[in-house]
Each structure stands twice: as C-alpha cells, then as structure tokens.
C-alpha cells in the first residue's frame, strides 16, 4: 500500500522505522506537527518524526491544522491507501479521515477500551495495572473509540516509570502497526468493534496531578512518582520550594512516621505516608540537578520535626 505516516514525538519513530524497513509498503510522505521552540534559545526545532523522515528522503507535511486546505489538497494528490498514526497530536477532521481508502489507523498505547485518551501509559501505572499493551484501531471522530485491528500485551514491572514502559511499547507497537498494514493490504485482518464495558479515560496528566499527597498510601505515592516520570514530574514542597521526586521505594516495615514526616539516616531519607514509609532515592531541588536523596538531605541539613508537603 501507499502510506502517509502521521506522528510527532520520539515515541513514534520506531513505528516509522518499522514501516520503512518492511519493504512491503511505500511511505510516500509524513505528517507531523509544525516546528516548535525548544532549548534555552527557544529556537524552532523540527519534530523527531520530521527529522527521521528528512533523513530517509521522505516528503514532510507540517500543517498548522489538519483541516488546512493546502494540506488536504496535497493529501488528495498523494492519494494514500492508508494513513498509520502514532502520537500525531492533533484531531483529524472528517474531511481528512475520508481521503485514504482504508482510513487512518492509530497505534494507541493501551488495551482498548481501557485508557482512552492522551496519557494511557501514565494512567495505567498510576492505577496499579499489572498488564497493559498497545492496540491498532481505525480512527473515528470519537476519542479512541474505533474498531480494533490487533493488540500486543506488555507486563508492567514493579519499578517501571512511564518513560520505561512507553519505550518498550513503542518498539512492540511498531511491529504491531507494520503487521496491521500487512493484514489490511492482503485482506486477512478485519477491525472488530470495541466492547461497551471496561472503558476508562486517560486525560493528559498535568502538574497538579503530579503533586504528591502524603496522606495517600505508600503504594499510591510510588505509582504516582513512577507514572509521572519523566513528565510532568512528581513533586512535593520542602521549605516553601518545589522538590521533584524522581525515584522512591516503599518501606513496608517502617510504619511509625506521620504523613510527610522526614527521617534522615546516614545514607537514607524516609518519608511517612498514609500507610507505611517510602524511601526517597533520587530527587531534584529547584534550580539544581538530580541527585541522590541522601546527598540532598546532607546539603540542606534537615532538622528534627521537618516535613515535606508543607
């Protein structure tokens, strides 16, 4: 088939690579978000997908909105059979959805209908799921509600951050998306409607969602930290300034600390929660680089009775 691939961030690059390597389909063009300011100089930078497409000598389309007439006209000229999508980042209007004969097929990082929305990996970790995966589905105008072509499953490991899990799913999902294109092309794969039960929503995780509630149980604290790493980054407050929490570890045998209370040992920093303590392993103070929590504690000289979250 002739394909136009739509995607923007680094997590979409493995899928583009898989389609380029398949040899069975032609990636005629790539659709991605416009260049965005980045770094201290706020210089305009092309998306990772745009950079990869340029390396491969593929035409890159960067519409401000996918309903722009110039973009739609160019898409009709290319006349793709199918448009595979991974984390493109913009809503596709019906006029664009109708152009490819086989529609737009999205690779979504959950086992649909669980975790429809922008942040499925973060929500699956924060909810304590043990298994997640990726799904390919035909895009409709509803949010992640279209019929599903295929899935792959992936176990969530006890120490997984959303970054760790998303990296694994990006590569597993790349193979799934390539296989889905093959199945659509040869007619062996039909999309199956999603069940009406088991639907859950995964809206974007914002900074307030990443604010640690020390009255929550230790397992919840750990899940929020892992789910919000690397973005938007879990945090608490210490001496009136924000303290980013990069890695914590539940300590079930330490139950005497009140929520938010700090206990500093020679090489450890424990914080009380609503159940038992967690150990802070890596933190980042405001304006500082990430460091081991024990080194941070020595530097700030935590006094008796000091707390986080105040």
Residues making up the annotated binding site for (6S)-5,6,7,8-tetrahydrofolate are: 110-113
Across the chain, which distance is largest between two alpha carbons, in Å?
A: 71
Q: Decide if 61 contacts 37 (C-beta within 8 A).
A: no
Whether the CB-CB separation of 70 and 55 falls below 8 Å is answered with: no
| Cα 139 from Cα 147, distance rounded (Å) | 8
Bridge partner list, 116: 201
C-beta atoms surrounding 272 within 10 Å: 24
Which has the closest alpha carbon to 310: 266, 268, 261, 275? 261
> Which residues are known binding-site members?
110-113
- Whether a cis peptide bond, with omega within 30° of 0, leads into 232 is yes
Q: Are 288 and 295 in contact (CB under 8 A)?
A: no
Burial class (CB in 10 A: 0-12, 13-18, 19+), 59: middle
DSSP assignment of 186-217 equals HT----BPPPSSS--B-PPP-TGGGB--TTS-
d(C-alpha 16, C-alpha 12), whole Å: 7
How do beta strands 262-264 and 2-7 pair? unpaired
Question: Could you tell me the two tokens for 227?
Answer: 């789910």
């Amino acid at each position: 088939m002739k394909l136009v691939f739509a995607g923007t961030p680094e997590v979409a690059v493995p899928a583009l690579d898989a389609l380029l390597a398949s040899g069975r389909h032609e990636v005629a063009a790539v659709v991605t978000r416009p260049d965005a300011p980045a770094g201290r100089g706020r210089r305009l930078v092309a998306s990772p997908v745009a950079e990869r497409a340029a390396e491969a000598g593929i035409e890159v389309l960067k519409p401000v909105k996918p309903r722009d007439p110039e973009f739609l006209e160019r898409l009709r000229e290319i006349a793709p059979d199918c448009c595979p999508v991974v984390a493109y980042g913009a809503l596709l209007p019906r006029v664009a959805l109708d152009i490819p004969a086989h529609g737009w097929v999205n690779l979504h990082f959950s086992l649909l209908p669980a975790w429809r929305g922008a942040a499925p990996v973060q929500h699956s970790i924060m909810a304590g799921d043990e298994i997640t995966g990726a799904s390919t589905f035909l895009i409709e105008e509803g949010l992640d509600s279209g019929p599903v072509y295929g899935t792959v499953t992936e176990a969530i490991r006890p120490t997984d951050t959303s970054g760790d899990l998303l990296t694994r799913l990006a590569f597993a999902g790349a193979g799934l998306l390539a296989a889905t294109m093959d199945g659509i092309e040869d007619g062996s794969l039909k999309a199956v409607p999603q069940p009406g039960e088991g639907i859950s929503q995964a809206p974007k995780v914002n900074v307030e969602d990443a604010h640690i509630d020390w009255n929550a149980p230790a397992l919840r604290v750990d899940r929020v930290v892992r789910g919000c790493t690397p973005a938007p980054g879990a945090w608490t407050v210490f001496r009136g300034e924000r303290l980013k929490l990069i890695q914590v570890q539940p300590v079930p045998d330490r139950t005497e600390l009140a929520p938010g209370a700090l206990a500093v040992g020679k090489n450890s920093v424990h914080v009380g929660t609503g159940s038992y303590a967690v150990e802070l392993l890596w933190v980042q103070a405001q304006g500082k680089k990430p460091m081991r929590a024990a080194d941070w504690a020595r530097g700030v000289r935590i006094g008796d009775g000091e707390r986080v979250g105040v």
